[in-house]
Structure 1
């Protein structure tokens, strides 16, 4: 699984790239603060409920959570399920918030 830093992700967003950002945190965490990604909690991915992600199987999927642990787990599950381009945000939303 590839890694991306918060700064690298911000550069790509600022450049106007269309990105598939998936937030694997819980709904309450997402409601508190999010970066606009699609919310698909880790439990849903671990349960292999991947219908919402099927169209992205061969596209880049950038995962994040609070600090990087849950998104790493989600990424491993997606890779096992045949997703070909999974990227983890190093440091998660905490690293993102540090950018301001």
Structure 2
């Protein structure tokens, strides 16, 4: 039996405005040369870089060195926003061995 009063399915989730986009993440493939230079509170520049295959990878930069890559369920939105000229940083929130937690935020 079907009835009314059910929920409405919305196939597209709401889009976060670029200046409100922020989320926790970890540094994937952390650079073993850079990790010892980081501390809680270190601010890394977030940059979308092209790969050889034409896709983009989002990396966190410590000066001229890649500290690691950023992944998240918000990654496509982050790439769209950086492509539109928005800038983001990843602030280190904890370091446990090679695991580096960061918080990505708009600047």
Report the TM-score, using the length of structure 1 for normalisation.
0.25
Larger Rg: 2
Greater percentage in strand:
2
Greater percentage in helix:
1
Report the TM-score, using the length of structure 2 for normalisation.
0.24
